[in-house]
Each structure stands twice: as structure tokens, then as C-alpha cells.
């Protein structure tokens, strides 16, 4: 061993689990303790459908999140039928227990740890190349938008995928509120930073806080969605409550969670994963089965909650909506 520290060897990076690991513990083989937790995630609509409304929900030990979340009354929101898809939805209990959220650890089992995140009060700052910088609370922001439900795919760079009923509003609506100047070419989004709560942030070899960025044109595309809810209720903490991005034509790491800052910038910023390994997790990260990750194939994906592997499609199936953004941009770097 040389004296020089190999940072890469210490980093748990985004990569597929080995078949061995998948066999040992698949996301739907929940340990007993997590099954009990799942009772707390009972779908509000299911409870209401069960007949007793909130009273019955209380009697069932209805979860504290929905009781104290001031936005709970905004859900479920009407589904925007322009964004329905033919794939089956990923069961909520599968999605809720298989997450990437490195702030709470580098495994997929961060659902419990992430409950420590306090999502109220939650201030969001909009700064940089805008008419006027501002800070507003999440509930003030929610008053300025109309929530809708969209069924979106999510394709992780690790070659697994899900289909999720997100609730939120188009990122273009946030651009309207932020009023970026013509000098703003990129929007950078930053996750909270609080290592006391998010113990993963004690790992000093990651460049916290997590940031991601889009070009202004990408951000203005109607597909770019700010998620505040999922499965017909406020987003669970492991999904990136109270507000996260969903850009379903890009690998999942672009869809940054628990955002506290939107910065409008003249120059392209370096993103979290780009800083860790630009050759493996780039700025553009558009899904393309023809460009393999340096260490594995991107041709197919494992569908979470189902025992199947399906072909991956370019732009994750959203070419009609987004291909125009990349005309002439055919090189590998746009798909990394
Ligand atoms: N702040 C933050 N955002 C994040 C991540 C993260 O570790 N921290 N992981 C990303 C990755 S790699 C993926 S695949 C998706 C996972 O979202 P999900 O857990 O809701 O499926 O979140 C993305 N957003
Ligand atoms: Mo990912």
C-alpha cells in the first residue's frame, strides 16, 4: 500500500448491487421491524376509503407526519392525464424502503434514519441572477402553485427503475416566481446541510451539500417537476420532503432531494456527483441504453417490486418531450 490515500476506495458510490446482494435482501423482503413501520405509511386514501375518515385514521394510529404537516389538506391532487403511463406503479412500501439519500447513509435502507429530518419550518432561498433574491417558507410557496399528480418513471444510474405517482408543480412555475434575469443560464438546486440530523454528512469525503443543476431551457421544459407529494399525500422524508426535483429523462441522481436553495447562475456549476467522479456521473446524465456506464451496462434495468429486467429506452421514454433540448448533442458526454 502506498501512503497516498485512495479516496475512491473509501467512497460508497452509486453502483448496482451485486446479484449476491440482491438475493440476500430484496427490497420486498422486508424485515419484521420495517413491516411494522409500514403500517404508519398507510395511504390516506386507503384509510378514508376504509370508511371512517380522519377519525378512523386517528384510531388506527394515523402517522404523525400527516397530522402535523400543514400541507396535508392539499392531497390528493388531481391527476394530470397528460402524464399517465402504461407501466405498473411501484408499490409504495417498496419505494419507501429502497432509497438513495446519502445524507442518511450510503445503503438503500435509510427510510428510518431519514425520519429525523424536520421539514417544518422549511425556508427556501432563491438567489443569484434574479430580479430580486427572496426567501420563503415551503407553505408560502405551496400557496403560489397548483398541485397536480403525475405518474413518472425513475431510472437510476445503477440500472434499477420505478414508476411513481408524484404530486407537485412544474419547475417552470418556480421560474415564474423567481424571475431569473436573461444572464441566468443555469439553475442550481441545493439540499439542506445538517450533519447532526443527517449523519451521512459526517462523511467528510463527500462534497456536501448535495447539489444538482439544469440549464434554464431544461428547467423550463414542462417535464421538469418539483415534487412535494407522493402516493396521494405529502412526500415521505425518504423521498426528499418537503420538496425535491423529478427530471425523469435523466438518471435519478439529478433529481435532488430536500431542496433549500435555488441559485440562478451565469456559469455551469460542478454538481455533487460530478465532483466525486465526473467520468462516471456527469452533468447531463440523459438516459441512453447505448452508452454504458464505465463499469456496467445501461442496456436494461431491474424493475423494483417485480422480478423482471426490461430494456432501457433513450431519454427514459420521454424523447417526445425533451429530445429538442439536445438536437445535435449526440456524443457520449450528454448521456453520462
Ligand atoms: N439530496 C440527495 N438527493 C438525491 C440523492 C441523494 O443521495 N441525496 N440520491 C439521488 C439518487 S442516486 C436517486 S436514484 C434518487 C432516488 O430517489 P428515491 O429514493 O425517491 O427513489 O434520488 C436522488 N436525489
Ligand atoms: Mo440513482
Question: Across residues 77-89, what is the average pLDDT?
Answer: 94
Atom 1 of ligand 1, residue of closest alpha carbon:
257
Ligand 1 contacts CB of residue 191 (under 6 A): yes
Closest to 99 (Cα-Cα) out of 44, 30, 156: 156
Query: What cell does 56 get?
Result: 378512523
Per-residue pLDDT at 3 exceeds 70: no
Domains and CATH numbers, the chain: 2-335 (3.90.420.10)
Question: What is the atom index within ligand 1 of the atom nearest the CA of 200?
Answer: 7
Cell matching residue 231: 402516493
Q: Average the pLDDT over 312-333 and give the result.
A: 98
| Ligand 1 atom 18, closest CA | 99
Which residue has the least CA distance to atom 24 on ligand 1? 256
Ligand 1 close to Cβ of residue 253 (< 6 A)? yes
Q: Does residue 14 line the site of ligand 1, with CB under 6 A?
A: yes
Q: What distance in Å separates the CA atoms of residue 200 and residue 1, rounded to the nearest whole number?
A: 27
Q: Whole-prediction pTM value?
A: 0.85
- Residue 258 CA: which ligand 1 atom is closest? 1
Q: Report which DSSP code applies to 155.
A: E
- Residue 210: CB within 6 Å of ligand 1? yes
Between 290 and 12, the more confident residue is 290
Q: Which of 7-21, 79-93, 100-114, 307-321 has the lowest mean pLDDT?
A: 7-21
Pocket test for ligand 1, best of 112, 257, 280 (most atoms within 8 A of CB): 257
Pick from 201, 134, 143: which is nearest to 173 by CA? 143
User: Could you give the C-alpha distances from 323 to 187, 252, 320, in angstroms and in order?
Assistant: 20, 18, 6
Amino acid at each position: 500500500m502506498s501512503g497516498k490515500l485512495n479516496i475512491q476506495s473509501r467512497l460508497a458510490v452509486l453502483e448496482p448491487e451485486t446479484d449476491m446482494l440482491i438475493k440476500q435482501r430484496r427490497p420486498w423482503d422486508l424485515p419484521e421491524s420495517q413491516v411494522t413501520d409500514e403500517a404508519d405509511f398507510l395511504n390516506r386514501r386507503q384509510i378514508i376509503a376504509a370508511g371512517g375518515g380522519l377519525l378512523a385514521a386517528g384510531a388506527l394510529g394515523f402517522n404523525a407526519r400527516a397530522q402535523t404537516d400543514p400541507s396535508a389538506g392539499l392531497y390528493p391532487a388531481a391527476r394530470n392525464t397528460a402524464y399517465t403511463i402504461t407501466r405498473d406503479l411501484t408499490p409504495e412500501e417498496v419505494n419507501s424502503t429502497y432509497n438513495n439519500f446519502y445524507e442518511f447513509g450510503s445503503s438503500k435502507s435509510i427510510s428510518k434514519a431519514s425520519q429525523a429530518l424536520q421539514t417544518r419550518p422549511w425556508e427556501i432561498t432563491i438567489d443569484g441572477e434574479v430580479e430580486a433574491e427572496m426567501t420563503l417558507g415551503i407553505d408560502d410557496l405551496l400557496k403560489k402553485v397548483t398541485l397536480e399528480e403525475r405518474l413518472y418513471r425513475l431510472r437510476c444510474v445503477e440500472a434499477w427503475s420505478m414508476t411513481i405517482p408524484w404530486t407537485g408543480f412544474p419547475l417552470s412555475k418556480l421560474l415564474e416566481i423567481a424571475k431569473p434575469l436573461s444572464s441566468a443560464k443555469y439553475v442550481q438546486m441545493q439540499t439542506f446541510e445538517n450533519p447532526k440530523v443527517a449523519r451521512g454528512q459526517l462523511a467528510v469525503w463527500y462534497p456536501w451539500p448535495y447539489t444538482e443543476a439544469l440549464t434554464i431551457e431544461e428547467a423550463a421544459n414542462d417535464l421538469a417537476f418539483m415534487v412535494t407529494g407522493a402516493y396521494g399525500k405529502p412526500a415521505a422524508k425518504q423521498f426528499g420532503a418537503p420538496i425535491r426535483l423529478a427530471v425523469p429523462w435523466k438518471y435519478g441522481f439529478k433529481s435532488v432531494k430536500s431542496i433549500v436553495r435555488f441559485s440562478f447562475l451565469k456559469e455551469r456549476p460542478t454538481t455533487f456527483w460530478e465532483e466525486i467522479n465526473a467520468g462516471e456521473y456527469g452533468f447531463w446524465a440523459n438516459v441512453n441504453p447505448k452508452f454504458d456506464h464505465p463499469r456496467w451496462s445501461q442496456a436494461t434495468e431491474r424493475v423494483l417490486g417485480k422480478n423482471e429486467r426490461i430494456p432501457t429506452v433513450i431519454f427514459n421514454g420521454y424523447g417526445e418531450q425533451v429530445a429538442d433540448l439536445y438536437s445535435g448533442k449526440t456524443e457520449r458526454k450528454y448521456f453520462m
